[in-house]
Chains A and B, each alone.
Chain A
Amino acid sequence: RKEVEQDPGPFNVPEGATVAFNCTYSNSASQSFFWYRQDCRKEPKLLMSVYSSGNEDGRFTAQLNRASQYISLLIRDSKLSDSATYLCVVNPVNTGFQKLVFGTGTRLLVSP
């Protein structure tokens, strides 16, 4: 089983729609979770961290479900500029050091 799994998509949605992505992780001891965004032919960039209590940043909401070992990203009122690949990132516990394991990404296409 992969450490981090995501539905590759693509998710095709119209402007203004609400879209949600899920991501599952295999290591139940994982402590830190993030969503990164990657535009076509660009490097990944941090979108937001994911906190245990859930957190919101404008139109973006991230949630963590430890019991089921998944994290989610909700995007409300989608914009054309939201079109990108969204990467789920997990930091599995590793002997006191930290590493970042990426999912393969979910592609979002927002159309007019």
Chain B
Amino acid sequence: DAGVIQSPRHEVTEMGQEVTLRCKPISGHDYLFWYRQTMMRGLELLIYFNNNVPIDDSGMPEDRFSAKMPNASFSTLKIQPSEPRDSAVYFCASSLDPGAANTEAFFGQGTRLTVV
């Protein structure tokens, strides 16, 4: 398996534009996580899915953020409209059972988003 695949790797957009980040988890993993990382706040959990169902979206900053997982092999995180403070690295991760010992959550390489 190629691992968790995120696209795009880099995104520069103007304030007010819609941004869509994409993630393909590792096949067979039933958990998918979206994180945002900044220098100030570290790695923040935005939302996670189990078997394509959103379980906890309490980390989503506001209504401008939305996430979907239409099937087991694809998820999107959308920001509409984008703002400069959304600039960060967005990571997607997938796992079998993240709470079990020695069960690793595998991260994609991240999408570096810059909103100008």
Contacts and interface: CB of A to CB of B under 8 A. Distances in A.
A94 B42 contact: no
Given A44-B107, A46-B105, A98 B45 contact: no
A45 interface: yes
B104 A46 contact: yes
B55 A97 contact: yes
A32 B42 CA distance: 20
A10 B109 CA distance: 24
Interface stretch (B20-28, B68-76, B77-85, B93-101): B93-101
A102 interface: yes
Given A44-B43, A87-B43, A105-B42, A100 B101 contact: no
Given A91-B99, A98-B98, A43 B42 contact: no
A79 to B, nearest CB: 22
A94 B99 CA distance: 11
Contacts of A101: 45
B101 A91 contact: no
Interface in B23-54: 31, 33, 35, 41-45, 48, 50
Given A43-B91, A49-B101, 5 more contacts: A32-B101, A45-B107, A99-B45, A99-B55, A100-B45
The 6 closest A-B pairs by CB, nearest first: A104-B42, A98-B99, A43-B107, A102-B43, A46-B104, A91-B99
